[in-house]
Amino acid sequence: NTMPLQVITVPCLSDNYAFILHETESRQTAVVDVPEAKPILAALKDLGWSLDHILITHHHDDHIMGLEEVRAATGASVHGGAPDAYRLPPLDTQLSDGDTFQLGAESCRVIDVSGHTLGHIAFIFDEALAAFTADSLMAWGCGRVFEGTMDMQWATMQKFKDLPRAMTIYSGHEYTTSNGKFAMTVEPYNESYQKRMVETNAARAKGEPTVPSNLGLELATNPFLRASHPKLKAAIGMEDATDAEVFAEIRTRKDNF
């Protein structure tokens, strides 16, 4: 079984990631988020791929600052969330929850993952087992809830919990070390957390990215996905609280960490 979807991680700015997607049969190429034009254009040149599509997850500057330069240099068409269209640069396609986007033979589902922002979207490639989650589900964490409500962000986390455990999670930032330091305060005696901290430190010491991760690892170690877990609830003395209350408590603790 050949993997028709190739994904290249492109570090941008101080701690952002863009991802270049290439469907090998049709040679259709897309980028998810454009924090900065230069490294993305340089990577495309190295790879010898011409960019057809730009996919935008949400409106924050650190995900779109390179957009106009990349669009001008490549002529790629731009696709973003319909609810964000009023505050994004001009879109060729507005995507809504439940829509499908086709990259050659590979298709992805667009899902609403509001919470960090209202109208944040994620791109889920079910066949290729690749999820582009930007600032919703992050490696060992989740985005700060700026525009939505805690309940909304918890509902978003539940959407991710339902994906296959083998799904690769491509998130938008290299925040894993600080996310892990926080996670360790929630479940300090969890051996999966301890193991992930060792692995994260080793990767960062070598200057390697810790993104992407995968859902199985996140389900075992990400406190924001584990808010419904009896062991996590016990660890913070909230055995009788609802899942949403536990999520809100953990997210609030992280805000103040």
Residues found near Fe ion in the complex (CB under 5 A): 62, 135
Give the total of residues touching Zn ion (CB under 5 A). 2
- Of 135-154, binders to Zn ion (CB under 5 A) are 135
Give the neighbor-by-neighbor strand order of the sheet with 53-55.
5-12, 16-23, 28-32, 53-55, 77-81, 93-95
Cβ-based nearer residue to Zn ion, 22 or 251: 251
Give the contacts of 189 (CB within 8 A, at least 6 positions apart): 235
Least separation in angstroms between CB 33 and Zn ion: 9
Name the closest residue to Zn ion (Cβ).
60
- Our finding on whether 52 is near Zn ion (CB under 5 A) is no
Q: Which does 251 bind (CB under 5 to 8 A by kind): Fe ion, Zn ion, none?
A: none
Least separation in angstroms between CB 28 and Fe ion: 26
φ/ψ of 135, rounded to 5, equals: -105, 20
CA distance 123 to 139: 16
Least separation in angstroms between CB 109 and Fe ion: 22
Q: CA distances (Å), 74 to each of 25, 51, 54, 135, in order?
A: 20, 6, 10, 26
- Our finding on whether 173 is near Zn ion (CB under 5 A) is no
Cβ-based nearer residue to Fe ion, 188 or 209: 209
Cβ-based nearer residue to Fe ion, 135 or 187: 135
Cβ-based nearer residue to Zn ion, 172 or 212: 172
Least separation in angstroms between CB 44 and Fe ion: 22
- Of 101-140, binders to Zn ion (CB under 5 A) are 135
Kind and range of the H or E element at 163? none
Number of Cβ within 10 Å of residue 213's Cβ equals 22
CB 163 within 8 Å of CB 215: yes
Least separation in angstroms between CB 79 and Fe ion: 18
- Our finding on whether 60 is near Zn ion (CB under 5 A) is yes
In degrees, to the nearest 5, what angle opens at C-alpha 93 toward C-alphas 90 and 99?
Answer: 140
- Give residues in contact with Zn ion (CB under 5 A): 60, 135
